[in-house]
Amino acid sequence: MESRSLFETVFGPDWASLPPVLRRRYAPRAGSRDLVLLKGALTITMAPWFEKLAPLIKLSRTLAPFTGENIPVVIRFSGEAGAEACDFDRSFLRPDGRTHRFRSRLTPYFSDEMVEYMPAGFAWRASYRLDGARIAISHRGYLLPLFGRLLPLPFDHLFGRVEAEEEAIDEDRFRMKMRVLHPWFGEIYSYRGEFTVARVERVE
129 and 115 in contact (C-beta within 8 Å)? no
Report how many domains make up the chain: 1
The pLDDT score that the predictor gives to residue 136 is 97
> Residue 99, CB half-sphere, CA atoms under 13 Å: how many?
10
Residue 1 has pLDDT above 60, yes or no: no
Strand segments, DSSP code E, in the chain are 35-46, 68-79, 86-93, 99-109, 113-117, 123-131, 134-146, 149-153, 161-168, 173-182, 186-201
The pLDDT score that the predictor gives to residue 133 is 85
**Residue 1 belongs to some domain of the structure:** no
**Residue 2 belongs to some domain of the structure:** no
Question: Looking at the DSSP assignment, which residues form a beta bridge with residue 97?
Answer: none
The pLDDT score that the predictor gives to residue 203 is 87
CATH of residue 84? 2.40.128.20
Q: What is the pLDDT of residues 80-131, one digit of tens each?
A: 998 999 999 999 999 899 999 999 999 999 889 999 999 989 999 999 999 9
